[in-house]
Chain A
Amino acid sequence: MGCELRNRVEAVEPYRIDAQGMHHRQLNETIRAALSAGYREIILDNVNGQRYIGAGISTPAYIEINGVPGNDLAVFMNGPTIRVHGNGQDGIANTMNSGTVIVDGSAGDVLGYGMRGGRLFVRGDVGYRVGIHMKEYREQVPVLVVGGRAGAFCGEYMAGGVLVVLGLDRLPGQPLTGDYLATGMHGGVIYLRGRVAEHLLGKEVQMFDLNDQDWKLLGGLLDEFGNYFGVDAAELKKDQYTKLLPVSHRPYGRLYVS
């Protein structure tokens, strides 16, 4: 399925960078240089915590990362596809505009902060405050899919976009998310595989059943998830899902007097 992704960008030979011992500034400069030289496929080996990979890049490109990229992967990114063969750290897809990030392993806190477009797929678990303040505008609708569990404050302040938590590979008794789920949410939609205990929810949202339109959207995302990670999407679709919606998109009205 990697090949399918590669075909999306112009076929030129890939540019390989050994990131071993490289400072992030040097690594990112090399990536920018490769892109301006016309390379559209870049493979980074031995990545070990270098930050800001893909920062603000607006050139269409496919970047494959072998190793663990550091914080703020794909921050302000606009278009490229990044595939991480490994775990990710904090702040992936921070204020991302468009593009796709696929993480084979687990990832850290504050993923997709202020993300306004593009897609982030994480196969494993994610940390706190994931999807915080995601927002959409017209055709730009950010999508964040978590294969495993999410920590507390998931979807906090969410103003738009689609957030999915599948909770795969959970140990018995482990909750799908931490508490304060969707607190302050005032736009967008969250899909959960299964249900969460009522007390985990922020006071601004309620649980709903899925309608046909939801299934169309979620079904497509599950197929995509299955494709990326070799998971049987048909199996996933057999499960029960819950939808979280804000009850008002003005959670903070009526607080003030003038």
Chain B
Amino acid sequence: MRSLLPPEYIVRIDQDRCRRCGRCVRNCGFGALSFEHSFWHRAKELFQGSTEDLQKVIAHVEEYVPDRVVADNRKCVQCHYCVTHCPEGAINIEPNPLAYKANHYWLPHYQKNIVKQAESGGMILTGSGNDKPYFSYFDHLVLDACQVTNPSIDPLREPMELRTYLGSRPKALEIEQDSDGEPVLKTKLTPQVKLEIPIVFAAMSYGAISLNAQKALAMAAKECGVLMNTGEGGMHRDLYPYADHIIGQVASGRFGVNPEYLERAAMLEIKIGQGAKPGIGGHLPGEKVDEEVSRTRMIPVGSDALSPAPHHDIYSIEDLAQLISALKEATAYTKPVGVKIAAVHNVAAIASGIARAGADVIYIDGFRGGTGATPMIIRDHVGIPIELALAAVDDRLRQEGIRNQVSLIAAGGIRHSGDVAKAIALGADAVAIGTAALIAMGCHVCQQCFSGNCSWGIATQRPELTRHLNPEEAGQRLANLLRGWALELKEILGSLGINAIESLRGSRLRLRGVGLSEQDLEILGVKPAGR
């Protein structure tokens, strides 16, 4: 069917500046740019030696077009790779002002999707996270600081502790004395993993993102003493040297999961849900399953990798308890086992069940969380904000006296260290970042991750594109980001007059709400500013 979709963007090439280096033409993953060949190219093709050919050549002189870069505006997704990398700064991309007539209700976005579906009859697929203008609670929470009555601390001079352990804690510690009268710990501690900064990288599988992107995450995790997460695509052998800093995910498709994988990972995570697609399974299309992805996922090249919506051995909390125990048995109780869920309406009760099922860590992913691919309708309309979910879960676990049994990781739209501090004050032990990490590597949040054409070499397996991402450099960018956030967190702690992140954890008294309703404040467990 002929497409009636207007281009969303207009690519303008400044022909005076452009020196026709061809970089943009070669590098665009979406094939939006090409060279318009000049008269001379055509002439060479046409002229075979005869006078007749010469006539044709002369006829073409009239259509003379200089050698230049042209854009197919319809293909442009505004990923800005060309804009960023053009040596002459000759490219500019603008939204197409005439694509749709202005309307406050029938926004261009809705019109566009209706046309697409009218032309295809399919579900609209998207990547990245919910971009709709829902209310952000983080933006309506502010942190406290010390003034006069209790001193703030200068983190540049005094030690500040960000170190965090993930795992289950005993209710109390029992100490006994050995034969020499020395105190020894009697309580048997369960396994913990150490984070130097209370941040982990969110699960992004090999297949959804490139191996170079995974390597960058692994290198940064190692350098910063934090963790990355394999996602459900198995662990590529190039990541083995970083395995001490890798969470091994076990999802419903069980891709790449074998005893070796369980053995290698520093921690295991059962993936039940994801903020961008609660209740939805995964589907890595066969085109993305190349030789290497196939080896890592342990499925044949070119076959679809389907992750069923539920784990078919988990239909209840009891069943979940069983998989948690099975993983612990299979690894002889040597590493923490976490459970990742999407933030949904009854998240507090669900989290309580998960804690009772024996999980050591619960990862809650809010509705701003990202993904490689999901139906847009699910991404944008299912799930609840992480701030509310986190507060509700922390409350519930405390009320039930089982908060110590699990560590909480909060995720889904953490944009800066302020969000990190607020999440920790709301009750998180640590946060996870996905989109922020991708942006650090170059991602411009064009939301085309599902297409496999990512020009930045992140969400693609095309070798000519994955080359765009240098793992060392991207790893350094990630490490720099974490370093920057860690410095800021220390500043925040200092201004709060505390010297350990532990003192901020769940300390909602250090938060105030601005412009929040009474009910919001009650759910968040914070006072309004001014009180």
Contact = CB atoms under 8 A, between A and B. Distances in A.
Contact of B304 (A110, A129, A186, A256): A186
B123 A52 contact: no
A113 B451 contact: no
Given A71-B322, A157-B308, A187-B300, A113 B313 contact: yes
Contacts, number: 135
Interface in B439-460: 448, 450-451
B258 A78 contact: yes
Nearest to A95: B254
B83 interface: no
A28 to B, nearest CB: 5
B117 interface: yes
Interface residues of A, number: 49
A125 B322 CA distance: 23
A77 B329 CA distance: 11
A159 B252 CA distance: 13
A25 B302 CA distance: 41
Contacts of B258: 76, 78, 95, 97, 116
Contacts of B312: 110, 113, 129, 132-133, 156
A142 to B, nearest CB: 11
A257 B322 contact: no
A79 to B, nearest CB: 9
A114 interface: yes
A52 B329 CA distance: 7
Contacts of A77: 259
B468 interface: no
Contact of A137 (B262, B300, B451): B300
B280 interface: no
Interface residues of B, number: 45
A41 interface: no
A254 B122 contact: yes
B126 interface: yes
Contacts of A6: none
B299 interface: yes
Given A78-B259, A110-B313, A250-B286, A257 B303 contact: no
Nearest to A77: B259
Nearest to A117: B258
A179 interface: no
A91 interface: yes
B207 to A, nearest CB: 14
A32 interface: yes
Given A32-B332, A76-B326, A114-B254, A186 B306 contact: yes
A133 B286 contact: no
Nearest to A76: B330
Contacts of B257: 76, 95, 114
Contacts of B295: 137
B405 interface: no
B298 interface: yes
B294 to A, nearest CB: 7
Contact of A187 (B117, B303, B448): B303
A68 interface: no
Nearest to A52: B329
B373 to A, nearest CB: 8
A199 B375 CA distance: 30
A32 B330 CA distance: 10
Nearest to A75: B326
A258 B451 contact: yes
A56 interface: yes
Given A32-B332, A51-B326, 13 more contacts: A72-B313, A76-B262, A114-B253, A156-B312, A187-B300, A187-B303, A250-B286, A251-B304, A253-B304, A255-B122, A257-B120, A257-B121, A257-B122
Counting from the closest, the 3 A-B pairs by CB-CB distance are A56-B330, A114-B254, A257-B122
Interface of A: 24-25, 28, 32, 51-52, 55-58, 71-72, 75-78, 90-91, 94-95, 97, 110, 113-114, 116, 129, 132-133, 135-137, 140, 156-157, 159-160, 184, 186-187, 249-258
8 contacts: A52-B329, A56-B259, A76-B259, A76-B327, A136-B300, A253-B285, A253-B304, A258-B450
